[in-house]
Amino acid sequence: MKISPLSPIGVFDSGIGGLLIAKEMKIQMPNEYFIYFGDTQNMPYGEKSREFIRNNSLKIASFLYKKNCKALVIACNSIVSNALDLIQKKFHKKILIFNVIDPVVKNTIFLSYKKIGIIATPATIHSNFYIKKIKKYYHHLDIVQISTPLLAPIIENGWEMKKISPVINSYLNHFKSIDAILLACTHYLFLKQEIDNFYHGKVHLIDIQKIVVKEIRKKLIENKLLCIHSTWGRLPVFYTSSHRPIFFEKKVRILFGKKVFFKTHVFNFV
């Protein structure tokens, strides 16, 4: 398949989390045309086995690859920490593969901290992916991490502040004496304001969206694949694996407006 700057970028997650990465892509790279896949049928990935995550994310990546994508963005920490090697191997030298962890853990922002907290899904925490990566680059850093299994499912189903606030508080009470917090699940990016409120602005929230998309843009330019022409007439497509999930569609419309396509695609998942 011939790819060019006009080819789409495939973005995927278990549900709505990756929408915030796609939104930042639209801000930093307004001409890009993208196809999104949310595996809403199988959400939450954070509670799935490593084998399940590996098998299913490979199917989604292959589905997007067949749409002639020039790049894939794995916008889910649970997938990256359990299946990145597999996806990279499968598409090596075919298309660009981006993920939401590598640009963050390599960022020099960590040099300015002594102690950081990480909250993520059980699948991400159990993989130890973050600890291994961050320790490789920043030996000095003290890292505390906890899995926060209740958050992503509540967020995916349309959270109410009064219900989610006690959950956030009970999790964050585990670490208070930190310099920065890493929201290591893309769903949690919807809670940035609440988490900032909890810490009264005294703990730095690492800006994952900006860091990740800046890196994507840089690599697209290096590979002469950045789209510099307007994508007028090409509306973003949002696939889900369950039929028309209401909250997902609501969030898409809030973030991307009304000119979007919704489609359902069901895989024979294992």
Which residues lie near ligand DGL (CB under 6 A)? Answer: 13-14, 17, 43-46, 76-78, 121, 124, 152, 185-187
Among 176, 170, 130, residue whose Cα is nearest residue 150: 170
Asked whether 26 and 230 are in contact (CB, 8 A), the reply is no
3-state secondary structure of 8: coil
Given the complex with ligand DGL, which of 164 and 226 has the nearer CB atom? 164
Given the complex with ligand DGL, which of 48 and 70 has the nearer CB atom? 48
- How many whole angstroms separate alpha carbon 175 and alpha carbon 171? 8
We find the least distance from the C-beta atom of residue 15 to ligand DGL, in angstroms, to be 6
Given the complex with ligand DGL, which of 212 and 225 has the nearer CB atom? 212
- How many whole angstroms separate alpha carbon 190 and alpha carbon 13? 14
We find the least distance from the C-beta atom of residue 208 to ligand DGL, in angstroms, to be 10
We find the least distance from the C-beta atom of residue 260 to ligand DGL, in angstroms, to be 20
We find the least distance from the C-beta atom of residue 125 to ligand DGL, in angstroms, to be 10
The tokens describing 56, both together, are: 């299913």
Active-site positions read 76, 185
Given the complex with ligand DGL, which of 45 and 256 has the nearer CB atom? 45
Please identify which residue in the block is written with the tokens 């696939």: 239
Ramachandran region, residue 231 (left: φ > 0; alpha: ψ -120 to 50; beta: rest): alpha
The tokens describing 247, both together, are: 């909250």
